[in-house]
Amino acid sequence: MLRCGHKQTGLRYLWLALFSVVLGMALSVAMRVQMARAGSSPASEHYAVVTLLHGSLMVFFVLTSAPQFGFGYFFLPLQIGANEMALPLLSGLSFWLTLAALVGIAGSSLLPLRLGMEVWLFAVICFCFAAILSSVNFCTTVTDARTYGMTLTRLPLTVWAWYVTAVLSLLIFGILLAACALLTSDWFFGTQFFAGGQVHSNVALAALWQRWFWFFAQAEVYAAMLPCFGIVSHLIATFARRPVFAERAAVLALCGVGVVGFCVWGLHMFSSALNPYSPLVFAQLAGSLGIPASVLLASWLLTLWGSEVRLTTAMLFAVGFISLFLTGGLSGLFLASRDVAVAAASTDFVTGHFHLVMGVAATFAILGALFFWFPKLFGRPMNETLGKTHFWITFAGVYCIFMPMHWLGLLDRARGGVPGVSAGGAARTFITTAAMITIAAQVIFLVNFLSSVWRKEPSTNRNPWHATTLEWFLPSPVPADDFGNRPPCIYRSAYMYGERLGGLDFLPQHVSPEQLAKLR
Amino acid sequence: MSGTVLDDIELIIEDVHGHNGGKPPSRDGDDGGGDDGGRDGNSPEPRGHGSRKYSTAVAVAMLSIVMFFMVLTAAFLVLRTEPQNLHTWAGIRLPRILWLNTCLLMASSATLELARRRLSMDESRGFHRMWALTTALGGLFVVGQVIAWRQLAAQGVYETSRMASGFFYVFTVLHAVHLLGGLCALLYVGWHKLDASRIGRPLAVEVASYYWHFMDGLWLFLLALLYFGQ
């Protein structure tokens, strides 16, 4: 049961993410309704539990799991020409640990407060182990399981992104695990590392927890975003029919995001007990994240420039991702500067910022990847008309939800941020209405997804997008033994578009020059 | 026309499983990432199905373990140097048996290397003898750690007594847990009948030895931290 094939593991992770996102969205509806009734964020214990559950589900089981473990487990071996992950035992083990974590986190909300917190802690520990095991598996697979000719420079950007994310996850989940170990010791063995679990009883000790938590959490944002960057680069090149502009710079940018993202952990701790000079350092580091982000953005835009874009649903979601990433990233610049952050950042501003840049943008990349790879996952494509309808309603909806939140945040701060008194009642009603419509529109996606999964229709085309990477040249759905007992050979980079081959405009990675000569 | 060419390509894919009759391109060389390069290498087969993946996996796992213990170390140093703790820190007297335990662990590393040497000389009996000795020394180290905890408890020093004792128990217990994993690996590699097609004994021994030596180094670091940090 533990030893599990990579395709099965990937699909299981995707189903788990789908369940989590539906549950998480239902919770967000409950929160908006509660806020609409109370007029602001209610201070009740139940509201806090629902918020924690919503955040935990979305961060751990959707944003972390779907792009990295869901698509990664399924497509990483296929894209590098391997038949299986390097360590299949770890694939199965990490999935079951993730499932245990999901059950624990969801169940913890139904338990009495103290017991619920303890169960939540153990569930997070389970997830840390799962993430570390998966990361070891990913790193080993990319390092040692690449097929003939699959040099580092020929790796698709998706693989690079999964690789860098695995290294980052390896480090940051180790940090969270250590922090959880100390907290477990406090709660169950009576030690005093965080003042006996009463985190708020001592400012210095609370700061210690804050440091470890943010060391993880700040980098976790990039661990969630990095696979999305890779996916978006891949989709844009495929549907723009152009090689990725400055592909090596894009790879370096992915690595740069990973390295700098790991170092900016003190960014949001301006008012805690850190060295007074530290905000200067962290603000500079956070600002320097703009360099790799700009390189990626330039690469995407210049790949698109002058190209004959195929506006499939997957491509729409990729372009939507760029829009949301840019918008959310701009508000992030405000938060990266200490003075501006202190003056402008209130709960609503921060909520609007991170939902746009981390939550929604990443979800768009996940949806883009799903529409793109669906034929390979299930043997037939999703409905494009329903997909595009779903995209446009969601795209407009998320802007209507999260842009006014920035404004509300500024308004709250301008009025002095008096607790319990919230400004912009009409705007809040508008946000709640937009949230309801946007969430209702997800029914279109669910109908499209489920009907496509269950539709009994044999696949006719193994490469509907005319993509170059290896997975598209295997039958759909992919056979159990992938490439069988003869691994493929790679002769060129992953983005050879625009090269004429008969009536086609791409060169597959694996076709040898001799074969090409025959085809030409 | 395009359908025909695509069909041709798909037919070639049937052949993608092989090397198209030519010499397989290298997986490791820098080919410039462009078209058709990298065909002069001599990598016999992808290594993921071979031996190196286990070494890589252990190396990567060790990176995560280092991070884990570095965070605990940082917590120790942060709390140790807090202004309110700087002059009032109540350290603990390390049990003397820790030094004996350290010697046992160092000796286990030495015997492990001797076992590897016996294996390379094809002395199966000598290998098993030294491997058993390594495992026994590792087991004795864990027993010694338990005795150290009992000695501290007998002196009334529990994990809840003070911050220093809390860290002592956390460091030593977590190290022992990791070391128990190493002991399981020693037992598995030494006495389980390995599937030679997946991993041969020399490689399994090598990989286990990396982890065991790493545990040694980690213990020396933690011991120094606990000793000088008091």
DSSP characters over A29-70? HHHHHHHHHHSS----HHHHHHHHHHHHIIIIIIIIIIIIII
Q: Binning pLDDT at 50, 70 and 90, where does residue A212 land?
A: confident
Where a domain ends, among A155, A189, A224? A155
Where a domain ends, among B10, B25, B44? B44
- Six-digit token pair at A171? 């480090």
Q: Binning pLDDT at 50, 70 and 90, where does residue B148 land?
A: very high
Q: Would A308 be classed as within a structural domain? A: no
Query: Which pLDDT tens digit goes with each residue over A53-106?
Result: 999 999 999 999 999 999 999 999 999 999 999 999 999 999 999 999 999 999
The amino acid sitting at B118 is R
Where a domain ends, among A139, A155, A171? A155
C-alpha span between B208 and B87 (Å, rounded): 43
Whether residues B157 and B224 fall in one domain: yes
Q: What is the mean pLDDT of chain A?
A: 87
pLDDT confidence of residue A207: 72
Whether residues B155 and B77 fall in one domain: yes
Q: Would A315 be classed as within a structural domain? A: no
Whether residues B116 and B132 fall in one domain: yes
Q: Would A58 be classed as within a structural domain? A: yes
Where a domain ends, among A140, A155, A170? A155
pLDDT confidence of residue B2: 45
Contacts of A512 in chain B (CB under 8 A): 20, 22, 36
Contact A319, A294 (CB under 8 A): no
| Degrees to nearest 5, angle at CA B39 with B33 and B45 | 100
CB contact under 8 Å between B26 and A148, yes or no, is yes
Range of the domain at B28: 1-44
Q: Is the preceding omega at residue A477 within 30 degrees of 0, hence cis?
A: yes
**Strand segments (E) across A267-343:** none
Contact A495, A508 (CB under 8 A): no
Q: Is the dihedral of CA A128, A134, A137, A138 positive or negative?
A: negative
For residue A489, the 8-state DSSP code is: B
3-class secondary structure, A401 = helix
Whether residues B8 and B58 fall in one domain: no
Reply yes or no on whether the pLDDT at A318 is more than 90.
yes
Q: Would A497 be classed as within a structural domain? A: yes
Query: Which pLDDT tens digit goes with each residue over B34-81?
Result: 555 544 444 434 544 467 899 999 999 999 999 999 999 999 998 888
Instruction: Name residues whose C-beta falls within 8 Å of residue A383's C-beta, 6 or more positions apart in sequence.
Output: A448, A451, A452
Q: Would A3 be classed as within a structural domain? A: yes
Whether residues B97 and B9 fall in one domain: no
Q: Tell me the shortest Cα–Cα distance from A250 to chain B, in angstroms.
A: 14
CB contact under 8 Å between A193 and B79, yes or no, is yes
Whether residues B39 and B120 fall in one domain: no
Average pLDDT over residues A242-268: 90
CB contact under 8 Å between A174 and B78, yes or no, is no
Query: Which pLDDT tens digit goes with each residue over A215-235?
Result: 898 899 999 999 999 999 999
Q: Would A442 be classed as within a structural domain? A: no
Q: Would A420 be classed as within a structural domain? A: no
Contacts of A182 in chain B (CB under 8 A): 72, 75, 170
Range of the domain at A84: 1-155
Q: Tell me the shortest Cα–Cα distance from A189 to chain B, in angstroms.
A: 7
Question: Touching check for B19 and chain A: CB below 8 Å?
Answer: yes
Angstrom distances, CA of residue A47 to CA of A27, A519, B1: 10, 64, 62
Instruction: Name residues whose C-beta falls within 8 Å of residue A124's C-beta, 6 or more positions apart in sequence.
Output: A56, A60, A101, A105, A176, A180
The total number of structural domains that make up chain A: 2
Whether residues B21 and B74 fall in one domain: no
Instruction: Measure CA of the first residue to CA of the last residue in chain B; give whole Å.
Output: 79
CB contact under 8 Å between B169 and A474, yes or no, is no
Residue carrying structure tokens 């990567």: B60
- The closest CB to that of B56, out of A140, A181, A211, belongs to A140
Output A496 or A514, whichever has higher pLDDT: A496
Q: Which of A310-324, A333-347, A425-439 has the lowest mean pLDDT?
A: A333-347
Whether residues B180 and B218 fall in one domain: yes
Contact A452, A444 (CB under 8 A): no
pLDDT confidence of residue A126: 97
Q: Tell me the shortest Cα–Cα distance from A453 to chain B, in angstroms.
A: 25
CB contact under 8 Å between A491 and B25, yes or no, is yes
Q: Which of A159, A172, A23, A4 is nearest to A95 (CA)?
A: A4
DSSP characters over A130-189? HHHHHHHHHHHHHHH---BT--GGGS-HHHHHHHHHHHHHHHHHHHHHHHHHHHHHHHHH
The total number of structural domains that make up chain B: 2
Q: Would A249 be classed as within a structural domain? A: no
Whether residues B11 and B111 fall in one domain: no
Q: Binning pLDDT at 50, 70 and 90, where does residue A340 land?
A: low
Interface of B with A in 32-71 (CB under 8 A): 32-39, 41, 43, 45-50, 52-53, 56-57, 60-61, 63-65, 67-69, 71
- The closest CB to that of B46, out of A146, A185, A463, belongs to A146
Q: Which of A198-202, B127-131, B137-141 has the lowest mean pLDDT?
A: A198-202
Whether residues B104 and B176 fall in one domain: yes
Q: Binning pLDDT at 50, 70 and 90, where does residue A350 land?
A: confident
Q: Where are the alpha helices (DSSP H) in chain B?
A: 2-14, 52-80, 83-86, 97-120, 124-154, 163-191, 201-229
Reply yes or no on whether the pLDDT at B197 is more than 70.
no
Reply yes or no on whether the pLDDT at B10 is more than 60.
no
3-class secondary structure, A512 = coil
Cα nearest neighbour of A195 on chain B: B163
B32: left (phi over 0), alpha (psi -120 to 50) or beta: left
Whether residues B11 and B125 fall in one domain: no
Query: Which pLDDT tens digit goes with each residue over A125-183?
Result: 999 999 999 999 999 999 999 999 999 999 999 999 999 999 999 999 999 999 999 99
- Six-digit token pair at B198? 């997946």
A-B Cβ pairs (cutoff 8 Å, strict): 228
Neighbours of A450 (CB within 10 A): 11
Question: Touching check for B29 and chain A: CB below 8 Å?
Answer: yes
Interface of B with A in 163-202 (CB under 8 A): 163, 166, 169-170, 174
| Degrees to nearest 5, angle at CA A262 with A201 and B62 | 95
3-class secondary structure, A504 = strand
- The closest CB to that of A502, out of B2, B52, B67, belongs to B2
Check which CATH number belongs to the domain holding B140 and give it: 1.20.120.80
pLDDT confidence of residue A419: 52
Whether residues B176 and B129 fall in one domain: yes
The structure's pTM equals 0.90
pLDDT confidence of residue A199: 44
C-alpha span between A386 and A390 (Å, rounded): 6
